Structure formats: C-alpha cells, structure tokens
Amino acid sequence: MIDVLLQTFPFFALIGLGFGAAAKGFFPPEATAYLTRFVFYFALSAMLFRFSANLSLAQVIDWPFIWAYALGGLAIYLLATAVALMRKRGVEEAAVEAQCAVIGNTGFLGVPMLALLMGEAAIGPVMLVLAVDLFLFSSLIVIIITGARDGRVSPAILGTVGKGLFANPMIVSMALGFAWSATGWILADPVSRFLDLLAGASTPCALFAIGASLASKSAERVTVAAWLSFAKLVLHPLAVGILAFAVFDVDPFMAGVMIAAAGLPVAGNVYMLAQHYGVAPQRVSSAILLSTSISVLTVSAIIAWVTQ
C-alpha cells in the first residue's frame, strides 16, 4: 500500500499544485477553461490516438469485460437513482446523482495513471471503460433529463445523443486510431514524434487542470456528497469486481484494471452536464471535491490490491 501510495503521489501532487495555483488566484478560471480545452481536444486526443493506433480492435474488445463493467455500473446507477427518488429529489436530480455514482475521471486521470502504474497492458481495458462510460452512461443522463422535460423519448433526443457522441474528441481519436491500426501501416517517424510530444503534455496538464477546477468547487450538502463519494469510490468498484470474478470470469489482470478504473473519483464533466441542464450543480461540485480528496487513499488502496 505504501509503495503504491508513493507511486500515485506525483499524480495527486500535480492536482494539489493546480488547486493551490487557482485558489491563490495565480491561475484564474479562464486559464483553467482553456487548459482543459487544450487537454480535451489536443493532448488527450493525441494520447488516445497513439494508444489505439498500436492496438487492433480485436485485441481490445472483450465482451465478458464489457458486460461486467456495464452491468456493475448499471446496478450502482439504479441504486443511486432509487436513493435519490426515496429522498423525493425528482427524476432529473436522480439522474445527475446516478451519474456521479458511476462516471469516474477516466480520461484525465485514469488513462495516464493506470497506463503508467499497471503497464501498457492496461491501456486496452482502460479504453474499454472509457468507451462504455461515453456510449452508455453519458447518453443515459441526456436521454433521461431531456425525456423527463419533454414527457417522452423522441427520435430527436436520440439524434442529439448520437451527434454529441460522434463530436466527442475522445471517441473520434480512438476511432481514428483503430482505423489506422486496421490498415497495418506504421506511423511515419515525424508523425509519431509529433504525437508523442503532444501526448506527453496530456498527463501534467490534465492533472493540473483537475486541481485548478477543484478550487472553484464548494463543499455544500456534505451528507449527500459523502454518499455519492462512497457509491463511486467503494460500491462501484465492488459491484464491477463481483461481476467480473463471480459471473463473467474476466481475465484477472483485466478485471483488476476495471476495478481500479471504477474506483476513480467523480469526473468533472458531470458538473458540466449538471450546470448545462441547471440540475443540482452545487451537489455535483461537492461530490467531485470530496471524492477527489478521498481518492488519494482509496485509489492507492485499490491499485495496491489489484496489482497483488
């Protein structure tokens, strides 16, 4: 545990550095927004393209893994929804809270950290987790909230979801990478070096941006934030782990990557969605702040366990 904590320390130290810079006013919110945009559209996309260009889709696709992660996530999604409805929060707020319980910071934190700590073999499973999060759970919140407001799920809603998915640079970069891999062509050396250089900026910039964005988050509704953090950091990895080992017989290493990815803190894009729809943004803000703070210990503990 201590060894893994020391290995994860630089990642969380960069988050802390970003938080401190923003909290002191040295790094204003506008700078955080532009840094996040750089990572999202350029650096992280270069990293995902480079990873997928060196993998075949057949190597990555693993249906037992996908079923275990998707159904484990759905179980926690439904649990979080039920708890919110029992508190009489309404369908829209329940959808946002359920999103907090299952969507981790896989892109900005999980991809670079797990690839480094668990080795290159972890890249494929992490990308599968990211794909399920984007295609399944990120679509659910749009469908539920829009359907609740319109009173029905129309083809227009599904069109909006599809358009959003295929405009997402993470999906586009992975798709292009796998398409390139399918050709069997090797990336030209100058192109490969360009991607390496750009992708190399993704990890420090992403972690700094996470920390800087946390400086604007508040810790209101701590009780609910604590519940959502517990669901995300403990129940989510527990659910996918049970299904991976007891039901779908997922390869042990891949199951370990899945569990580690499921234990990541609440993603920042959940706040963006909550703010966009005007549904409980402060509650999401608290969940992100609390889960990220606690994850320094919980993520290290999970990685230590799965790597043993």
* Structural domains in the chain, sorted by start: 2-307 (1.20.1530.20)
Confidence of residue 1 (pLDDT cuts 50, 70, 90): low
**Is the pLDDT at 119 greater than 80, yes or no?**
yes
**Is the pLDDT at 3 greater than 80, yes or no?**
no
Torsion on CA atoms 137, 32, 288, 96, rounded to nearest 10: -40
Query: What pLDDT was estimated at residue 82?
Result: 94
Q: Mean pLDDT for the chain?
A: 85
Calpha distance 126→114 (Å, rounded): 8
For 73-77, 163-167, 286-290, which range has the lowest pLDDT when averaged over its residues?
163-167
For 148-162, 175-189, 272-286, 292-306, which range has the lowest pLDDT when averaged over its residues?
148-162
- From the CB of residue 96, how many other CB atoms can be counted at a distance below 10 Å? 28
Query: What pLDDT was estimated at residue 204?
Result: 87
State mean pLDDT over 149-154: 65
Q: Which two tokens stand for residue 79?
A: 């649990």
> What is the b/e burial string over 9-38, where b = at least 16 CB atoms within 10 angstroms of the residue's CB?
eebbebbbbbbebbeeeebeeeebeebbeb
For 48-52, 106-110, 247-251, 286-290, which range has the lowest pLDDT when averaged over its residues?
106-110
Torsion on CA atoms 240, 243, 249, 253, rounded to nearest 10: 20
Bigger pLDDT: 290 or 219? 290
Considering only CA atoms, which of 50, 15, 291, 47 is closest in space to residue 177? Answer: 50
For 120-124, 157-161, 166-170, 192-196, which range has the lowest pLDDT when averaged over its residues?
157-161
Say which DSSP state 231 is in: I
Confidence of residue 75 (pLDDT cuts 50, 70, 90): very high
pTM above 0.75, yes or no: yes
State mean pLDDT over 26-37: 86
Q: Which two tokens stand for residue 86?
A: 């029992």
Query: What pLDDT was estimated at residue 108?
Result: 78
Task: Please state, for a pLDDT cut of 90, what percent of the chain lies above it.
Answer: 24
Query: What pLDDT was estimated at residue 218?
Result: 64
